[in-house]
Structure 1
Amino acid sequence: MNRRDFFKGGSLAFLGTTLLSPFDSIAAITDAKLNGKGKIAKNIIFLVSDGMSTGTLNMANLMLSKKTGKSSSWISLYEQNKVVRALMDTASASSLVTDSAAASSSWGGGIRVPNGAINVNADGTENTPILQKFKRAGKSVGVVTTVTATHATPAGFSIASKKRSDEPGIAVKYLEIGMDVVMGGGLEHFSPLLRKDKQDLFAVAANKGYTVVNDRKSLMAQDGPKALLGIFNEGALPYSLDRASDSTLIEKMPTLAEMTRQAIKTLSKNKKGFVLQVEAGKVDWAAHANDVGGLLYDQIALDEAIAAVIAFAEKDNDTLVVITTDHGNANPGLFYGPQADANFERIFNFKKTNNWILDGVNKDTSVTAFIEKVEAAQGYAISKEEAGQVLMHYGKLDEKGLYNPRNLPYKDLALLQTKYTSVGWGSMDHSGDYVELAMFGPGSELLKPFVKNTDLHNLMLAATGVLA
């Protein structure tokens, strides 16, 4: 079976040292490149699998290899020795374990900030985000994500904000600084019907020359407009697995790869180049939920985007591609047992995520109905005792929590699910692990084997010859 067949229909549808010492300078690195030691990159595409522990990358590759006979695009780059590879320290200014706001700010502003802040230091001073630096240098800039377009990771490249939670304010700032491409979810932060201040940011964007699109068909009809604002859903986009088995969602919601290709089509019209961040944001959300179907299929969605980006970069020869994550999350893995292979292969036939299962249940759902729901969604039958263990939590749901506002029993379902998938979890939160980092194209020769997250800020400036 080839890769294209794997992604058609149903769930199968988708399947010590730092870069710069205190005595080094960006100018010195740039001079060295100009003197023939390296080529200046015209463009940068920065791909982020948010919250990707090493086990996530591993299992997505196992899944693709087992089903299609081919490695993932990410692992193929390793196998073919096409990239420079490193480990990255992801700590923030306030903790060894970062959140996404501080992590992206480390890349974006080049300085570690406290968790929860976006390019704002503990003393209240602000660091200039890298997309603003590239914008001043004449390049086009953009962000693409599967969560809200105003979420922490895209924002960390783009703006400064004391609170990552101020997404309505972040939306305003995007338009003020003139982002050339913004795509993802977050209708509530742009629509006058949903914003508390009733501002119509779609109208503001249109007046500034943006082409505004709200569905997949409209997006795919674009042939590289001057500027593009694509907001496709209230809240985040659906999980890739749930989208793949729902014809309505397939028609309305673009994939991450489709958004990425359209972003490149728009941004690459600038002769001075462009810088684009692409985020698979729901990998992180699935890890927080210990949702293996959500996790692996969204990781594979990023892998499709990686393939599209590498295809562009190989043809272009002027593009530095960065592939990484901002931090680990939940440390999932496939664990030994006599049925490990067969159990893992069950995930190949999942039609729905744990999120879909649990969000569609309430305190009146019967044990029998829940067993049937799980079997229809994921192909295995849990026991009455296991179903009852999960259902007992629906009498005490609340609306608190960033990633789990209904306090759904994700952990309980994940724990019983391990028996059927052989996938286990270390936690339901971020980790302080060093993470994977790979670079392809001009500028990749600057990468050392072990770096801090802040080093990437200086590397990107040096790779493009842009001085801060």
Structure 2
Amino acid sequence: MKRRDFFRNGLLTTVGFGVLGSRPILGTPLTHRQLDGVKNIIFMVSDGMSSGTLNMADILMRNKLGQSSTWISMYESGELKRSLMDTASANSFVTDSAAAGSSWGGGHRVNNGALNIGPNGEAHKPILQKFKDAGKSVGCVTSVQITHATPASFCVNQNSRNAMPEIAVDYLKLKFDVMMGGGQELFDPSKRADGRDLYADFQKDGFQVAKTKAEMLKATAGKPLMAVFTEDGLPYAIDRENNEDLKRDIPSLAEMTEKTIELLSKNQKGFVMQVEGGKVDWAAHANDAAAILYDQVDFDDAVRVAVDFAAKDKNTLVIVTTDHGNANPGMFNPGSKNAKFETLFDVKCSNEHLLKQINANMSNAQMIEIIQHHQNVAISKDEADTLRKSFSMGEDGLYNTSKLPMELFGGMLSKHNAVSWANTNHSGDYVELAAFGPGSDRLPGFVKNYELHNFLLEVAGVSKREFASAL
């Protein structure tokens, strides 16, 4: 079975808490080639990816498809330089995505919730602004809102990650070359509190605006592109691939990545882009095994697109990592012949999608039948009764706006699919960091997150001196 048919066939430190600067140099001295500068950088983030997420997605792919994930196969072949990264923020061992992304974006650790604004109010110029000033094309691709913490951390200065309406306006001012993701409510005048039609403003300022996959594919180089496909985040990959309407209108992360590379690579001075698999993090918060594994596969497909381009181009550095762990899922007691874990091979939707089809008025038999059909497991009558009662109680949780019993259901499914969870929030783990292409040999075996900022500037041959002062 070919990799592109994966979904179509049924699967759809010491830590200091002050404001830390970057070390001037990482690894060995620059070679002559690197002094000229790596032309392109593709920085890829599987947001909230614990090591268990990477492991289980690879196991799933090996046993469903007979081939490993791009990430692990490149570890096996030695093509990826491997490192560990300390992910702490300025005020916590456990970071959020805003502070984690800002460590890369601004080169300093900031408090959780802030975007490139230090604890004392200092503003650190974001890295995509620096690369834009150096003449490169820049852009971001994500499966959540394009104004969300991780893409925003490479682009803007804001005291709070929650200032997403203001971040959307910041993007208009910055005029970056390609921005793709969700978040229509941040651009639509009927959804914005100020009634501003940002879509119209972007078009007036020379942007191409795309709201569907077809419109994205028609975009041409020469004019910047703002592509916003859905309200909120994009659908989970498992839901998109099992719904023909969604699959027609909403691109995969790999498709967005491929199109962005096509557009940005027209610049003879090169490009820098960030790619985020943001729904991996949301699935971890929800303890949703099907959602997290297939969004990790979706991310891995995007990694393959980036690596294929870099292998042909030979002057592109690809960084593959995560900003922090989340929920620390793992496989336990997979059952005889791994039958429990293999139920995930034929799952048809995310837990979120499934729970929206269930209500407290259903009988146990109806609930059991729906779950059997969509999740490929048979829960007991007692479990069905517990689940039905939970709807009247509601459940808090990040990104769980409908107050669905996500944690309860995820825990209930654990004994059926063999995926267990440590929590519903971020962890303080050291995380995977890998590099492919020119400059990758300079990646040390252990890195503090904020050190990557100068590392990227150095391998690209962009001087830090002109950016030494605050904004």
Fold in common (TM above 0.5)? yes
Match of 2:353 in 1: 356
Could you tell me whether the CA contact under 8 Å between 2:109 and 2:450 is conserved in 1? yes
The equivalent of 2:6 in structure 1 is 6
Does 2:47 align with 1:47? Answer: no
d(CA) in 1 for partners of 2:334 and 2:456?
44
Match of 1:151 in 2: 148
**Aligned twin of 2:110:** 113
TM-score (norm 1): 0.94
What is the aligned partner in structure 1 of residue 306 from structure 2?
309
How far has the Cα of 1:367 moved from its partner? 2.3
Shift of 1:392: 1.0
1:464 and 2:464 are equivalent in the alignment: no
Tell me the number of residue pairs that the alignment of Structure 1 and Structure 2 aligns.
460
The separation in 2 between residues aligned to 1:258 and 1:225, in whole angstroms, is: 20
Amino acid at match of 1:33: L
Is the 8 Å Cα contact of residues 93 and 115 (structure 1) preserved in structure 2? yes
Cα distance, 1:29 vs structure 2: 8.3
Could you tell me which runs of 5 or more consecutive residues in structure 2 were left unpaired when the two chains were aligned: 465-471
CA distance in 2, matches of 1:192, 1:312: 38
Q: Residue 12 of structure 1: SS of its match in structure 2?
A: coil
Quote the residue 2:342 is aligned against: 345
Pairing 1:33-432 to 2, within 5 Å after superposition = 33=30, 35=32, 40-339=37-336, 341-397=338-394, 401-432=397-428
Q: How far is the alpha carbon of 1:36 from its aligned partner?
A: 5.2
CA contact (8 A) 1:91 1:98 kept: yes
TM-score by length of 2: 0.94
Distance 1:23 1:459 in 2: 9
* 3-state secondary structure, aligned to 1:126: coil
- Structure 2 counterpart of 1:420, which letter? H
**Partners of 2:27 and 2:444 within 8 A in 1:** no
Taking a change above 3 Å as real, the CA distance of residues 348 and 46 of structure 1, as seen in their structure-2 partners, is same
> Aligned partner of 1:456: which letter?
L
C-alpha separation in 2, matches of 1:37 and 1:146 = 32
| Distance in 2, Cα, partners of 1:92 & 1:321 | 24
Going from structure 1 to structure 2, the CA distance change for 1:462 and 1:373 (only over 3 Å counts) comes to same
CA contact (8 A) 2:285 2:398 kept: no
Equivalent position SS for 2:73: helix
> What are the ranges of 5 or more consecutive residues in structure 1 without an aligned counterpart?
none
CA deviations 1:104-161 (Å, max 9, x no partner) are 0000001000001111111122111101111111111100000000000000011011
Change (3 A) 1:457 1:252: same
Q: Distance in 1 between matches of 2:167 and 2:84?
A: 31
Q: CA deviation at 1:313?
A: 0.5
| Alpha-carbon distance change, 124 to 12 in structure 1, aligned in 2, over 3 angstroms | same
Residues in 2 aligned to 1:419 and 1:340: alpha-carbon distance in whole angstroms: 15
In structure 2, do the counterparts of structure 1 residues 121 and 335 end up closer, same or farther at CA, with 3 Å as the change threshold?
Answer: same
1:112 and 1:80 map into 2 onto residues whose CA distance is: 34
Residue matched to 2:449 = 453
Contact 2:187/2:197 (CA < 8 Å) preserved in 1? yes
Q: Distance in 1 between matches of 2:385 and 2:27?
A: 62
CA distance in 1, matches of 2:22, 2:392: 60
* Superposition deviation, residue 4 in structure 1: 3.0
- Does the Cα contact within 8 Å between 2:27 and 2:443 map onto a contact in 1? no
Offset, 1:175: 1.4
Residue 254 of structure 1 aligns to which amino acid in structure 2?
P
Amino acid at match of 2:317: L
Displacement of 1:225:
4.7
Residues 23 and 396 of structure 1: CA distance in aligned 2, closer, same or farther (over 3 Å): closer
Deviations 1:336-377 (A, max 9, x none): 354361111110100011111112333333322221211111
Partner-residue secondary structure (3-state), 1:276:
strand
Q: CA deviation at 1:380?
A: 1.8
After superposition, give the CA deviation of every residue in 1:232-276 in whole Å (9 maximum; x if it has no partner): 001100000011111111111100000011111111111111110
Q: What secondary structure sits across from 2:226 in the alignment?
A: strand
CA contact (8 A) 1:38 1:443 kept: no
Query: Match of 1:326, SS?
Result: coil
Conserved? CA contact 2:34–2:460, under 8 Å: no
Q: RMSD of the alignment, in Å?
A: 2.0
Q: 1:207 to 1:337 in 2, by over 3 A?
A: closer
C-alpha offsets along residues 40-67 of structure 1, whole Å, 9 cap, x if unaligned?
2111100000000000000000011011
Judging changes above 3 Å, is the alpha-carbon distance between structure 1 residues 339 and 224 closer, same or farther for their aligned structure 2 residues? farther
For the Cα contact (< 8 Å) 1:210–1:229, is it kept in 2?
A: yes
Contact 2:49 2:281 in 1 (8 A): yes
- The residue type equivalent to 1:2 in the other structure is K
| Maintained 8 Å contact 1:226/1:266 | no
Give 4+ residue runs of structure 1 displaced > 4 Å after superposition.
Answer: 21-24, 36-39
Compute the displacement of 1:23 (Å): 10
Contact 1:287 1:428 in 2 (8 A): yes
SS in structure 2 of the partner of residue 146 of structure 1: strand
Structure-2 separation of matches of 1:308 and 1:329: 25
Deviations 1:400-456 (A, max 9, x none): 654112322112111221121111111111000000000011121221000000011
Judged with a 3 Å threshold, the aligned counterparts in structure 2 of structure 1 residues 338 and 365 are, in CA distance, closer, same or farther, namely: closer
Amino acid aligned to 1:235: D
User: How many Å separate the matches in 2 of 1:67 and 1:194?
Assistant: 42
Q: Name the structure 1 match of 2:467.
A: none
Q: Give the CA deviation at 1:214.
A: 0.2
